[in-house]
Amino acid sequence: MSVRVTGDTLALDRKIVGRIKRQAETLAQGFPSQELDIQARIAEEFDELRGHRVRCELVTNSADRQQVVVREASKTPEEAIDAAFSGLKTKLRRLRTRGLTKQAKETAFRPTGT
């Protein structure tokens, strides 16, 4: 598993980088058979309706070469990071379930040589 953290000055904060790496390690433990290469981008933004916010964007590729992108924004970087990793975990589980279902269907309809 590799983690690359980019972004504006928030990406230089050791506490934020440490939180991202801990969340990535926890995620990797949940998917031991899958090699994860996570790119995290942290940025500050100003929304006229919601004010100052922090956006966390996570990008990775699934085992079957599908790109998974999750974007979350919140008032604090910790909330944005936690929400983004939670969303990424959900999407990876769905892709794994979809892949297992597809694999089961392919083996069920495989012709036998009689």
What is the C-alpha separation between 34 and 28, in angstroms, rounded?
A: 8
Quick one: which of 10, 91, 2 has its CA closest to 56? 10
The third-level CATH classification (topology) of the domain covering 2-108 is Double Stranded RNA Binding Domain (3.30.160)
End-to-end, the C-alpha distance of the chain in Å comes to 45
What is the C-alpha separation between 40 and 6, in angstroms, rounded?
A: 6
What is the C-alpha separation between 91 and 93, in angstroms, rounded?
A: 5
Q: Which residues of 30-42 are buried (b: 16+ CB within 10 A; e: fewer)?
A: ebeebebebebbb
For the entire predicted model, the pTM comes to 0.80
Could you report the per-residue pLDDT of 12-29, keeping only the tens digit for each? 889 999 999 999 999 999
Residue 47 has pLDDT above 60, yes or no: yes
